[in-house]
Structure 1
Amino acid sequence: MTALHWKLVIDAADPHAQADFWAEALGYLVEDNSAQIDRLLSAGYVTEDLTVEAHGRRAWRDLVAVRHPDDPYQEDNGIGLGRRLLFQRVPEPKSGKNRLHLDLHAPSGRRDAEVARLEACGASVLRHVKEPGGEWTVMADPEGNEFCVQ
């Protein structure tokens, strides 16, 4: 069996704000889909109301992804071919605990500094956990999605 390509899709009230937060948090790049959008607009396949301006370029209003800077991507449409998070606009607010979350691994001895950096980016600390199996900080992104810093 061939390994499958995947991306993690995250529901969001404001996909662009979430993408900006996670790009900064992870050191990822916000994908540039402007060339693809311009082609689709020119051909009449999509309308302007499906787009916004973000980072000085045209972007999808309701979808935006971030990708690892070292991973390959398709130059004609900006879509990453490796590690990616895709944020999609949904009408309902987040409710309840995440069933899936990211664990961020800080360099040895740097967890507290990493937590402080993420707080400066807009995250909040929910709690610190110290158990026989390890120690980590549970945080929330600007829309309340939980993640851990180990």
Structure 2
Amino acid sequence: MAVKFKICIDCADPHRLADFWAGAMGYVVEDHSGLIATLLEQGVVTEDQTVEVHGRKGWRTAAAVRDPDAPFDPHSGVGKGMRLLFQTVPEAKTVKNRLHLDLHYGPDRYEAEADRLEALGAIRLGAFDEDGAKWILMADPEGNEFCCHA
């Protein structure tokens, strides 16, 4: 049986990156407010572990995005398909990623998508055309590298 997984990304501002990556990938930011309300009511978590984001409670140190077409738990907001989880860490990014995402937009769209990603806060790091493959190397708002592919 295949193993289910999510990709976790260390960061300084999980909600900023969740908004960026939701826009970059056509994903939705997970709404954990129902779960948070339940856990607050039960005394399992405290208010200082939460933050107000887009008019609802979110986790102070984490946010996630999910495939909008995949199933999800309506109470917890957690997706049951492809997800990205952004988690706060104390140290800043200092070296090149050892793992990165390749976003495949297609040969007719990737350059326009790179422009759109820049408007969302990404930075272009270089353009490549090797062995018939074309892509633009970019960095998200916290400097995490990713590729925008043809």
SS at 2:91 equivalent: coil
Identity rate of aligned residues, in percent?
A: 58
Deviations 1:24-83 (A, max 9, x none): 111110000101101111111111000000011000000110001101001121100001
Aligned positions of 1:1-80 closer than 5 A: 2-80=1-79
| Correspondence for 1:130 | 129
CA root-mean-square deviation: 0.8
| Correspondence for 1:146 | 145
Please tell me the residue identity of whatever aligns with 2:52.
Answer: E
- Whole-angstrom distance in 2 between the partners of 1:112 and 1:103: 14
Which of structure 1's runs of 4+ aligned residues deviate more than 4 A?
Answer: none
Deviations 1:68-118 (A, max 9, x none): 110100112110000100000000000110000000111331111011010
**Corresponding pairs, count:** 149
Deviations 1:110-144 (A, max 9, x none): 11101101001100000011212512100000000
- Whole-angstrom distance in 2 between the partners of 1:115 and 1:105: 11
**TM-score after normalising by structure 1:** 0.97
- Whole-angstrom distance in 2 between the partners of 1:118 and 1:112: 10
- Whole-angstrom distance in 1 between the partners of 2:131 and 2:79: 38
**TM-score after normalising by structure 2:** 0.97
